[in-house]
Amino acid sequence: MNFILDIVTKGDNQGVATLTFNHSNPKINKLDSASLSELKDAIADLSTNKDIKLLVFDSSKKNVFIAGADINEIQGISTKEEAADKAREGQLIINEIALLSFPTLAVINGACVGGGCELALACTYRMASDHPKTVIGLPEVKLGIIPGFGGCVRMPRLVGLQNALQLILSGKLIVAKKALRMHLIDQIYNHDFQKDDVQKMITKLLHGRSFAKSLIKNRTDKKSLINRFLDDTKLGNKFVFKMALKNLLKKTKGQYPAPLQAIKTIRKIHGIAIDKALEIEIDGFSKVAITKESKNLIQLFFTSELISKETGAEDKKLTPIPLNNKQTAVLGAGVMGGGIGWLFSKNDYSIRLKDIEWSAVNKGYQTASDYYIQMKRYRKINQTQIRNKMNHIAGCVNYNGFKNIDLICEAVVEKIEIKKAVLAEAESYLPEHCIMTSNTSSLSITEMATALKRPKNFIGMHFFNPVNKMPLVEIIPGKKTSTQTIVNTVSFVKSLGKTPIVVADCAGFLVNRVLMPMLNEAALILQEGGNVVDIDKAVKSFGMPMGPFILSDEVGIDIGFHVASILEEAYGERMEIAGIFRSIAETTQFVGKKTGSGFYLHFSDSKSAPIYNEALNSIIQAYRAENKIDAVSFSKTLIQQRCIYRMLNEAVMCLQEKVINDPAYLDMAMLMGLGFPAFEGGLLKYADNQGLKSVCAKLEMFSEKYGSRFKPAQLLVDKVASNTTFYEEKLCPTKTQ
Amino acid sequence: MKERLAIVNGIRSPFCKAGTNMAGVNADDLGAVIVKELIAKIDIPLDLIDEVIIGNVGQPANSPNIARVIALKAGLPESVIAYTVNRNCASGMQSITTGYEKLLAGNGNIVIAGGTESMSGYPLIYGRKMTNLFVHLMRSKTLPQKLSILSKFRPSFLKPILSIVEGLTDPVCSLNMGQTAEVLAREFHISREEQDVFALNSHVKASKAQQSGFFDDEIHPILLPPKYLQIQKTDNSLRHNQTLDNLTKLRPYFDRLTGTVTVGNACPVTDGAGAVMIMLESKAKELGLKPLGYIRDYAYAGLAPNRMGLGPIYATSKLLDKTSMRMSDFDLIEINEAFAAQVIANERAFASKDFANKYLNKYEALGEIDPNIVNINGGAIALGHPVGATGTRLIITLLRSLRSQNKNCGLAALCVGGGQGAAFALEIE
């Protein structure tokens, strides 16, 4: 049974029915087919019961009211008709609740999300607890769908068009305080006094007619004139829809169909009769539920659920040992060191930020303080809190205090000899148990470990720049790294709010190894006749967050070139650095954003966008002349294909060489490390969707035309031969949540 | 005899003239950096520490019991207790002796004692009239009420009270600290020239000490918020090119017409912090630590508030009685330089039989002081006087001076606003 029904027949609460959601899943409540049909029967029974004066919905689960519909069922939808049936099933039942002859009250005592929120919307009254885990919202667009249980219809009617669009298009979840402000709920209650507060509410609803009236009146009161105009007039609505669409296109470039559909649907149904509106909602839902974007996003959701449960070890019994005293140290206070210092301090680890000179330490403080100031701008922190967090960082130029450090992260210059020396020196001051990590982006962990006395405690922990924005951390065990160290580091990275993915120790690890060929391919296209701006535009329009050249500028051409050299040395011909890239890097005059000029000219005020650096023309022309290259032009599609397929081929090689074992994890790493577009689901998912056969054929064609670096990876050839895909063996992993 | 107190080690921040480089650092943050760094320097596990005691005079409104704020910000476990002490200018010393007394009484084994002061952070305060206006305004409910209260406002209400001026004025004798120095200049007949020469010497000695790197090991650099563009590594109020001429040109500050005390021969208001780790000698031995030095004994003494500058001799007299030591036992002496006149007055009083008869109830003079062993690395006139932290600095600096000179026994003494004095007998071996 997924529900507990209790009807009070005597006493003060006579006539109060309580339907408590108690899904068979021990942790959450969800509206899957089974519980929906059960709910249907319960509502049908109650609707004919003349004794009931009030129906209360609540939940038996800690911190969860209803977490939404069953995502597995949505993932399984393959036709429009199936989608429409699915939505209609839930929508009808929820509509029945709205049609009950007695009032209903939703007691939201935890996450009230998606279908759960839609159920609450159908109730007459809603009250929610002030617990921080009590969040309310309609995050459907994040899974590539739109609310289909009446949310598109009821939300705008309850909270006004502007608020509704904001909630539905962003998919953001809000806490009770905010929900109260937009009248999504009628009352907020003290989580620790739930029983008393709910009883008071019930008593008032049972005995005070005027109270119930005032609750409803409250919802529309105190609305400013401008909001009345925007929410409640035709002209105002028109303007709101126009702005919402404009902002959405700016943000998503139209690459995500769900929010677009949401706007379309809400526009169509705004102001029309509810029965008709519900039908239109179903139509909208079924259109997006079968898109590949939705399937991709749901797959990513499942993958992230899985990754969050990963411990980093096969043996699930091996549990992480938390850091003794939360004492950490970072060696090297550059931009990365400062960023890592920021991250550690933000999560209340005490950190010693060591460099050779005080001026360098100050640079690290600047980065950390910068990231805090950015947070402050978004009101995520105030000045007092910043002072407190900055106090977790202690700059130093010696090894004072290292006897009591639990974890260090080395972030010095990317030269293996220097790293080895720094790590070996630090090790002599550190206690036996200390985990030593390196933030190297491409150097061998196993090689670095040779300098250490305790290689079992040593591991790669690769953060991406900028640390405050990039969610991914590559965890790289060396040959001698102990499993306990892996498990501890994975758990540590999770405690920082980042996503750890364990990859093998190869040059460039996973993300840079896949990224670098793309940057290089872009440079090759440039020397063959393309131009910087067009190439960047093409790659960006594919869905990448930025083009390869602007990315090089952000990273720094010198650093990019350094990493490219390491990869060239490790992988030989297929990673051979494009001649033009070498020429530009060797002038050393163009370094990128940090000096103001690279492939682009960058301006210190953040408002003016970078413009192409004309000074490169002479270098490019000279290079073409010297190498007798006749410049040809490239179509957008060709640029995209060369860049993406080059990455794709390298990604397959990584899988083939077991740099990472799970294609879904690889895709997640691409998403979080490279910003590969989520609607494509990741590189390998993209390949699956394109059809491996056609991908393979295209690679072979490129291989002939542009060079053997495109020669399809053996694993890809095998998959084509056996007619399988990367994701074929992946079942919906959260079936047994 | 009671067991000696081991000063395991001690560090301090640079001392900066108020309103200059460290003005943006709050007193609690400054203290926290120093306490954290001290523990790192000694590198003992945090959970061995029992208590943090911090001296602070102008406690910031946003850090009530600043010692607790510092302890937590320095990363000490929540279980470590902390409290703040205030004996005005001797607060840094008070933190040490309070800790000493607790240790002797068996309350704990290891204490962090220190002092912190951000005199830049002393606020301007609304006067009573303005405060009342605000109170009434908040209590009033209707618009007419509010308007009627507002109509009583006069621009003069906005005149602020400078808390630093209030703090440096004795509420009993109504003299400010500079005026008490004038009292001593008159009593001991100390000329303007003598005072200026003394001040010049302080700068010369401090400058030499700084340039020779003497302070490097006791100062922990401070990275300067909010933008961290600069680092403060040294004391900034001392002047390497100080000349007597420049000092002579200054006008008397506290008694503008006939006075002798100028801002040049007085100490500047200063920001700074310092901390030491203390434990009984036996505990240090048990942990295998090599302390910077020991406190053999100490004394505080009270005197007339308007002659507060003589605190050192009153306290020293008491200390000598307590320990049966003689002035000749001390190899080096630190007397805090609140004012040149005040230190010179002490030197004269130490040598004076009359003074001993009249005020100390002693037959012989306490003992003449060799000026060459006093404040050999400069004093507060050059280095500054962050009231809560100076006591801590005197102890650290004197122990390090003794070590650098291969000497063993030192006297650290200090005058205290309000009419008190402090004196400490320190030893290296």
Helix H, strand E, coil C: the string for A605-662 is CCCCCCEECCCHHHHHHHHHHHCCCCCCCCCHHHHHHHHHHHHHHHHHHHHHCCCCCC
The two structure tokens encoding residue B162: 């400078």
Tokens 């040779």 belong to A450
Count of the separate structural domains present in chain A: 3
Residues of A in contact with B47 (CB under 8 A): 325
A258 lies in a domain? yes
Last residue of a domain, one of A468, A502, A536: A502
Question: Are A86 and A200 contained in the same domain?
Answer: yes
Name, in order, each residue with C-beta under 8 angstroms of B23's C-beta and a sequence gap of 6 or more.
B16, B118, B120, B121, B271
- Crossing angle, helix A532-542 and helix A636-656, to 10 degrees? 60
Residue of B nearest to A328 (CA): B75
A313 lies in a domain? no
Residues of B in contact with A387 (CB under 8 A): 26, 29, 225
Residues of B in contact with A395 (CB under 8 A): 221, 223
Nearest CB to A369; choose among B40, B227, B230: B227
Q: Which helix (H) or strand (E) holds B130?
A: helix B128-139
pLDDT band at B160; cut points 50, 70, 90: confident
A197 lies in a domain? yes
Tell me the nearest-neighbour CA distance from B328 into chain A, angstroms.
39
Q: Cβ distance B248 to B90 under 8 Å?
A: no
Q: Is the pLDDT of residue A737 over 60?
A: no
Name, in order, each residue with C-beta under 8 angstroms of B264's C-beta and a sequence gap of 6 or more.
B196, B199, B246, B247, B250
State pLDDT tens for residues A15-72.
Answer: 999 999 999 988 899 999 999 999 999 999 999 999 999 999 999 999 999 999 999 9
Alpha-carbon A266 to chain mean position: 26
DSSP, res A15: T
From the list A14, A107, A95, A98, the residue with the least C-alpha distance to A53 is A14
Other beta carbons less than 10 A from residue A239's beta carbon: 13
Question: Are A497 and A533 contained in the same domain?
Answer: no
Tell me the nearest-neighbour CA distance from B46 into chain A, angstroms.
9
Q: Is B64 on the interface with A (CB under 8 A)?
A: no
- Whole-angstrom distance, CA of residue B195 vs CA of residue B185: 9
Name, in order, each residue with C-beta under 8 angstroms of A340's C-beta and a sequence gap of 6 or more.
A330, A409, A411, A439, A463, A467
A150: left (phi over 0), alpha (psi -120 to 50) or beta: left
Question: Are A341 and A465 contained in the same domain?
Answer: yes
Q: How far is CA A449 from CA A34, A480, A488, A505, A610, in A?
A: 55, 8, 18, 12, 42
A46 lies in a domain? yes
Tell me what pLDDT residue A608 has. Answer: 84
How high is the mean pLDDT of chain A?
Answer: 93
- Whole-angstrom distance, CA of residue A83 vs CA of residue B362: 104
pLDDT band at A735; cut points 50, 70, 90: very low
Count Cβ atoms within 10 A of the Cβ of residue A433 and give its class: 0-12 exposed, 13-18 middle, 19 or more buried: middle
Q: Is the pLDDT of residue B301 over 50?
A: yes
Residues of B in contact with A402 (CB under 8 A): 43
Q: Do B41 and A401 touch (CB under 8 A)?
A: yes
Q: Do B40 and A400 touch (CB under 8 A)?
A: yes
A134 lies in a domain? yes
Question: Are A569 and A712 contained in the same domain?
Answer: yes
Q: What is the mean pLDDT of residues A622-646?
A: 94
Q: Do A366 and B221 touch (CB under 8 A)?
A: no
State the Rg of chain B over Cα. 22
- Whole-angstrom distance, CA of residue B310 vs CA of residue B298: 17
Q: Is the pLDDT of residue A734 over 70?
A: no
Question: Are A232 and A334 contained in the same domain?
Answer: no
Question: Are A561 and A706 contained in the same domain?
Answer: yes
pLDDT band at A183; cut points 50, 70, 90: very high
Q: Do B225 and A369 touch (CB under 8 A)?
A: yes
Nearest CB to B228; choose among A327, A365, A388: A365
Q: Cβ distance B203 to B242 under 8 Å?
A: yes
Q: Which of A180-184, A221-225, B268-272 has the lowest mean pLDDT?
A: A221-225
- Whole-angstrom distance, CA of residue B57 vs CA of residue B39: 24
Name, in order, each residue with C-beta under 8 angstroms of A276's C-beta and a sequence gap of 6 or more.
A269
- 3-class state of residue A77 by DSSP: coil
Q: Cβ distance A458 to A448 under 8 Å?
A: yes
From the list B116, B112, B120, B144, the residue with the least C-alpha distance to B48 is B112
Indicate whether this complex's ipTM tops 0.95: no
State pLDDT tens for residues A562-600.
Answer: 999 999 999 999 999 999 999 999 887 889 988 889 999
Q: Is B288 on the interface with A (CB under 8 A)?
A: no
Tell me what pLDDT residue B125 has. Answer: 86
Residue of B nearest to A395 (CA): B223
Nearest CB to B41; choose among A358, A390, A400: A400
Among B43, B228, B277, pick the best mutation site for testing chain A contact (most A Cβ within 10 A): B228
A524 lies in a domain? yes
Q: State the CATH number of the domain containing residue A553.
A: 1.10.1040.50
- Whole-angstrom distance, CA of residue B377 vs CA of residue B205: 5
- 3-class state of residue A730 by DSSP: coil
Nearest CB to A394; choose among B40, B47, B227: B40
Containing domain of residue A695, as a range? 511-659+691-722
DSSP secondary structure string, A705-719?
HH-GGGSPPHHHHHH
Question: Are A438 and A363 contained in the same domain?
Answer: yes
Question: Are A189 and A215 contained in the same domain?
Answer: yes
From the list A342, A338, A343, A345, the residue with the least C-alpha distance to A360 is A338
Last residue of a domain, one of A290, A317, A346: A290
Q: Which residues of A are catalytic?
A: 462
Helical spans, DSSP H, in A543-615: 548-555, 557-571, 579-587
From the list B348, B396, B352, the residue with the least C-alpha distance to B371 is B348
Count Cβ atoms within 10 A of the Cβ of residue A262 and give its class: 0-12 exposed, 13-18 middle, 19 or more buried: buried
Tell me the nearest-neighbour CA distance from B119 into chain A, angstroms.
19
Q: What angle do CA B310, B313, B316 make, to 5 degrees?
A: 145
Q: What is the mean pLDDT of residues B52-68?
A: 95
State pLDDT tens for residues A255-313.
Answer: 999 999 999 999 999 889 999 999 999 999 999 999 999 999 999 999 999 999 999 98
Q: State the CATH number of the domain containing residue A405.
A: 3.40.50.720
Q: What is the mean pLDDT of residues B173-184?
A: 94
Residue of A nearest to B222 (CA): A395
Q: Is the dihedral of CA A286, A287, A291, A293 positive or negative?
A: negative
Nearest CB to A400; choose among B32, B43, B62: B43
Q: Which helix (H) or strand (E) holds A408?
A: strand A407-410
Q: State the CATH number of the domain containing residue A256.
A: 3.90.226.10
Tell me the nearest-neighbour CA distance from A486 into chain B, angstroms.
26
- Whole-angstrom distance, CA of residue A681 vs CA of residue A303: 10
Last residue of a domain, one of A502, A536, A564: A502
Q: Is B221 on the interface with A (CB under 8 A)?
A: yes
Tell me what pLDDT residue A729 has. Answer: 59
Question: Are A278 and A395 contained in the same domain?
Answer: no
Question: Are A462 and A443 contained in the same domain?
Answer: yes
Q: Among residues of chain A, what percentage have pLDDT more than 90?
A: 87
Q: Do B43 and A403 touch (CB under 8 A)?
A: yes
Question: Are A345 and A465 contained in the same domain?
Answer: yes
- Whole-angstrom distance, CA of residue A657 vs CA of residue A509: 11
A729 lies in a domain? no
B89 catalytically annotated: yes
A225 lies in a domain? yes
Name, in order, each residue with C-beta under 8 angstroms of A415's C-beta and a sequence gap of 6 or more.
none
Q: Which helix (H) or strand (E) holds A277?
A: helix A274-289
Question: Are A14 and A143 contained in the same domain?
Answer: yes
From the list A324, A328, A368, the residue with the least C-alpha distance to A349 is A328
